[in-house]
Amino acid sequence: MKKRGSDFIGRKKAVSPVIATVLLIGMVIVIGLIVFLWAKGFTQEAITKFDKNVDLVCNEVQFQASYSSGTLGVTNIGNVPIYNIKVKIVSDGSYQEKDMRDLSTNWKTAGLNPGRTFSGQVSTSLSGANSITLIPVLVGSSDAGERAFTCDEARSGYTINL
């Protein structure tokens, strides 16, 4: 009478140690690559302006804005040049964001330097809006060259109720 397990002892149908090792090394490399790419998403390339992190420079941005009869006016009263402004248009529970360059052809390519004023027609884009929030965009240096950085709306945004 044969034992049940003895049928398998004679047949060697297992994966060879070399193939098993190659498969394990391949799996470790793939898992390591996935973890590396996942962790890389948590870090951002450092952007600096005036030898400081650009996020800290956003705290120094000061500007005033007004809206009347389709004309938006912005005055840079601080010491930091404003490259662009993101405009958050809020209407009936929804919002959309646009660049100042898309709203007005009067916005200068160089932005708004300290002490300068911008005034331009934007009425068609803001019709039906309840409020607008102006969020400054600064340009800083990084390893890849100059890059734009949008400041935090809660700290640097300027809201105008229409």
pLDDT tens figures, 110-157? 889 999 999 888 866 677 888 899 999 999 988 888 889 999 999 999
Q: What proportion of the chain, given as a percentage, has pLDDT over 70?
A: 90
Token output for 96: 């959309």
Answer yes or no: do 36 and 65 share one domain. Answer: no
Answer yes or no: do 29 and 75 share one domain. Answer: no
Answer yes or no: do 32 and 80 share one domain. Answer: no
Answer yes or no: do 35 and 59 share one domain. Answer: no
Q: Is residue 153 part of a domain?
A: yes
Query: Considering the chain, what is the average pLDDT of its residues?
Result: 85
Q: Which domain holds residue 26?
A: 6-40
- What number of CA atoms fall less than 13 Å from residue 54's CA on the CB side? 23
- What number of CA atoms fall less than 13 Å from residue 42's CA on the CB side? 4
Answer yes or no: do 32 and 109 share one domain. Answer: no
Q: Which amino acid is at 27?
A: M
Answer yes or no: do 55 and 26 share one domain. Answer: no
Assess contact for 130 and 91: CB atoms under 8 A. yes
**Cβ neighbours, 10 Å, residue 149:** 20
Rounded to an integer, what distance in angstroms lies between the CA atom of residue 72 and that of residue 102? Answer: 13
Residues found in the chain: 162
pLDDT tens digit string along 37-91? 888 877 767 788 888 888 889 999 999 999 888 888 999 999 999 999 999 989 8
Answer yes or no: do 62 and 24 share one domain. Answer: no
Burial status of residue 150 (CB atoms within 10 A of its CB: 0-12, 13-18, 19 or more): middle
Q: Look at the chain and report how many structural domains it folds into.
A: 2
